Amino acid sequence: MARKLKEVADFLQARLIGDGDVSVTGIASVQSATPGDLVFIQDEKNLDSALQSRASAIIVGKFAADKTYSKPVLITDDPRLAFARAAHLICPKPARVPGVHPSAIVHAGAKLGSVTVDERVVIAEGAEIADGTWIGAGCVIGRDVFIGEHCELHPNVTIYAGTRLANRVIVHAGSVLGSDGFGYARDPKTGRYEKFPQVGRLEIEDDVEIGANSTIDRGALIVTRIRRGTKLDNLVHVGHNVQIGTNVVIAAQAGLSGSAVIEDNVVIGGQVGIADHVRIEDGAVLGAQSGIPSKKIIRGKGVLFWGTPARPIRAYLKELALLARLAKKE
């Protein structure tokens, strides 16, 4: 969508140096830019290559001097953030035409707003889907599921009965929401595992995004909950009864065991393992592959923890260095 740079500058509240009548029609990296593209650089050292690229304009930081360049520049506090926002303006998501594809099977007892339901979707009795939401091909929406406004479900997602998604939730292909938790009671006489009831629910708040092929279990007796603005990558596992706060980031293949509590603003690296009943307090950062043993509490806003069992990275690196040194001496 063609936008004059002047418009983009207004939208970003950025300072424009150069010709505001230049049009941008796309976004790109510096390396792949073609004429019409807007690009961004986060560091001053990349300014020259951006200027030499084929891009039509550049989002830069405060580091850019107050002078004119060979291309128009937009000066912002945070070029990467500004670029992400500009992308929404220049390349808005394609509008989806509301309507239910004739191959979709929607139960007469389901309530659909003005939604886009693609091929072969199955929607069960009692489900309710609000305006502006898209359900991709092959999704299966269970009984009494509620999905709010402007959600996007990519193809082949399965949502178990009773799950609730608020607004603007994005779920990537193949993910499973509201599946049974992993809970059994063992009979000491026979050694057999009896299934513990998994009759709670799953609730996901506004603006959550869930990657592809992730799995999020319903509560056993209570509600598994993911709060507003939290982002999960691909192949993430969230066990029953887990409580995840707002604006949490969880990288690919991390796993959260039953009843873990993740407070707001936590950052969880890839392949991190969090055992049952762990509490990760506000703003802690868990390095990739770290492991938190059962019932531990991790505390420390902005502190990076690493290793299994996870400890502050400074202590961990010191241990690693010492061990390497001792081994070398042998």
* Options 51, 113, 179, 312; binder of a copy of itself; rule CB under 8 A: 179
- Which residue among 111, 194, 295, 301 contacts a copy of itself (CB under 8 A)? 194
Applying CB under 8 A, does 180 fall inside the site for a copy of itself? yes
Q: Count Cβ atoms below 10 Å from residue 164 Cβ, excluding itself.
A: 21
Cα–Cα distance measured from residue 305 to residue 308, given in angstroms and rounded to the nearest whole number: 10
Give me the residues paired with residue 312 across strands.
Answer: 305
With CB under 8 A as the contact rule, the residue among 55, 166, 235, 268 that binds a copy of itself is 235
DSSP 8-class letter at 140: E
Q: Which of residues 46-75 bind a copy of itself (CB under 8 A)?
A: none
Least distance in angstroms from the C-beta of 20 to a copy of itself: 23
d(CA 16, CA 76) in angstroms, rounded, equals 9
CB 283 to a copy of itself: min, Å: 10
253 lines the binding site for a copy of itself (CB under 8 A): yes
- Rank residues 99 and 293 by Cβ distance to a copy of itself and give the closer one: 293
Integer Cα distance of 95 and 99 in angstroms: 12
For a copy of itself, the binding residues in 287-306 under the rule CB under 8 A are 288-289, 291, 293
C-alpha 292: how far from its chain's center?
Answer: 22
Q: Nearest CA to 245 among 218, 222, 268?
A: 268
Among 16, 59, 163, 233, binds a copy of itself (CB under 8 A): 233
Q: Please name the residue that has the structure tokens 């799950």.
A: 163
Does the footprint of a copy of itself cover residue 163 (CB under 8 A)?
no
Active site residue 240: yes
Binding segment (CB under 8 A) for a copy of itself, from list 10-18, 43-51, 62-70, 166-174: 166-174
In angstroms, the Cα distances linking 167 to 72, 152, 324 are 37, 10, 51
Closest CB 67 distance from a copy of itself, rounded Å: 27
Spatial CA neighbour of 16 closest among 68, 63, 87, 51: 68
Specify which residues 255 forms β-bridges with: 237, 273
Report if residue 89 touches a copy of itself, rule: CB under 8 A: no
Give the active site residues.
240
